[in-house]
Amino acid sequence: MEHTDVTRQVEAVWRIESARLIATLTRMVGDVGSAEEFAQDALVTALEKWPQEGVPRSPGAWLTTVAKRRILDRWRRDERFRDRMVELGREFVEHDGQAEFDAVLEEDYGDDLLKLMFVCCHPVLATEARIALTLRLLGGLTTDEIARAFLVPETTVAQRIVRAKRRLTEKRVPFEVRSGADRDARLADVLEVLYLVFNEGYTATSGERWLRPELCEEAMRLGRILAGLMPKEPEVHGLIALMELQASRFRARVGVEGVPVPLAEQDRSRWDRLLIQRGLAALEGSIPVDPARPRGVYSLQAGIAAKHATAHAAEDTDWRGIAVLYEVLVRRTGSPVVELNRAVAVSMALGPGAALRIVDALRDSGALEGYHLLPAVRADLLQRLGRGEQARTEYERAADLTRNESERALLLERARSAVGSEL
């Protein structure tokens, strides 16, 4: 087999197995940074040996075995690790050869992987650091891939990851999943990180591309893994439902030369019916069994996405139902962005005049100052009310605020066409 072919296979195995490998090693050494170092050492060994020896039948187990042996070698040499060796017992030392490899094959990685998710998304880290560390350790992405996805220098991503691992060590963040209210709060942190990764892929905040599907796919992949680890958590299913229903529109969301296509103008025959079916199935799992337990915020958002997904044409959309769901979301979150989305639904259900009053109240509050979608929504409402000149001004203001080139082009085009709608 060609050396380059083996290298590609090693890279593919790493992308699939690295999260479980690092999770297992973190349980052994008690530190994410050290665990990744041992995992990388095993990867280097694979790159050296597999071209000559061939790819093993169980490459993940092979990498884990090599990494564990590196850890044991370190413990034998370094006094600082001897206490850890005693704490975990002598079984790691006694296993060797095929017996050790068989033991690795039989291990259940699920609990370790879940703990690693909770560590990567720990609130002691800044949001940007959580995202970078999650994509690095759980997604297996390189720093270069993460940097290109978020349009930041590779050195910036590398620094975020290094500082994140250092902070986790300094704060002695335990490798565990707690119970009760603390567990629920930490799960919310994990879901938020996946949601942010998906949103950046769904509507990029900057750059020339409006969509970055690779980020959405990674968020959905990690979400499905989380659902497998926590199958009885409604909000996990709610987030998966939301992501898959939103992702079903990918092919229709971008037109010629990457120009965004608004929801009402999309060719719904291009929506992915399989993703819609999967999203609707996940939505059912997001409804709490206990009727006294309220639906989570991701489940509510998925409910809104489902109303769009099941409407055969834009004019069939249940806007009143969507407005009601947004009203519940506003009460739950207090988010001005959600209130802006509610205004859009109200405009479709009750007319632009009723919605403009909501938007103007948001503008006057200053809560969304600098948020480009506020003037964009206001411009649309003004245009529908026949106030074209005012609409053009708002579209231009929105274009100035956005950092995404595709979105800016769309807003400027709408500004040019707005004047013709003046009554």
0.75 exceeded by pTM: yes
Instruction: State how far the Cα of 11 lies from the Cα of 140, in Å rounded to an integer.
Output: 9
Residue showing tokens 């005693």: 86
| Each residue's pLDDT tens digit, 259-300 | 889 899 999 999 999 999 999 999 999 998 888 889 999 999
Show the tokens assigned to 285: 């799992």
Higher pLDDT, 215 or 95: 215
**Average pLDDT for 9-21:** 86
Confidence of residue 3 (pLDDT cuts 50, 70, 90): low
Q: CB–CB of 101/59 below 8 Å?
A: no
Q: What is the pLDDT of residue 204?
A: 75
Q: Is the pLDDT score of 96 beyond 50?
A: no
Q: CB–CB of 319/345 below 8 Å?
A: yes
CA dihedral 214, 218, 220, 221 (to 10 degrees): 130
Instruction: State how far the Cα of 363 lies from the Cα of 347, in Å rounded to an integer.
Output: 16
With a CB cutoff of 8 Å and minimum separation 6, the contacts of 119 are 26, 32, 168, 173, 175
Q: What is the pLDDT of residue 259?
A: 81
Q: Alpha carbon 305 to chain centroid distance? A: 17
Q: Name the range with the highest mean pLDDT among 115-119, 152-156, 357-361.
A: 357-361
With a CB cutoff of 8 Å and minimum separation 6, the contacts of 319 are 345, 348, 349
Q: CB–CB of 196/121 below 8 Å?
A: no
Q: What is the pLDDT of residue 325?
A: 97
| Each residue's pLDDT tens digit, 129-176 | 999 999 999 888 889 989 888 878 999 999 999 999 999 999 999 988
Instruction: State how far the Cα of 77 lies from the Cα of 352, in Å rounded to an integer.
Output: 73
| Each residue's pLDDT tens digit, 35-57 | 999 999 999 998 888 888 888 88
| Each residue's pLDDT tens digit, 173-231 | 998 887 778 888 889 999 999 999 999 888 877 677 767 888 899 999 999 999 998 99
Q: CB–CB of 387/357 below 8 Å?
A: no
Q: What is the pLDDT of residue 234?
A: 96
Instruction: State how far the Cα of 151 lies from the Cα of 133, in Å rounded to an integer.
Output: 16
| Each residue's pLDDT tens digit, 382-393 | 999 999 999 999
Q: CB–CB of 256/285 below 8 Å?
A: no
Confidence of residue 94 (pLDDT cuts 50, 70, 90): very low
Q: What is the pLDDT of residue 106?
A: 46
Instruction: State how far the Cα of 194 lies from the Cα of 188, in Å rounded to an integer.
Output: 10
Show the tokens assigned to 37: 């170092």
Q: CB–CB of 84/93 below 8 Å?
A: no
Q: Is the pLDDT score of 101 beyond 70?
A: no
The number of CA neighbours under 13 Å toward the Cβ of 112 is 21
pLDDT averaged over the chain?
A: 88
Q: What is the pLDDT of residue 80?
A: 56
Confidence of residue 403 (pLDDT cuts 50, 70, 90): confident
278 φ, ψ to 5°?
-65, -40
Q: Which of 107-121, 150-164, 348-362, 378-392 has the lowest mean pLDDT?
A: 107-121
What is the length of the chain?
Answer: 423
Show the tokens assigned to 371: 């948020």
Q: Name the range with the highest mean pLDDT among 23-32, 289-298, 358-367.
A: 358-367
With a CB cutoff of 8 Å and minimum separation 6, the contacts of 231 are none
Number of H helices, E strands in the chain: 22, 2
**Average pLDDT for 243-256:** 92
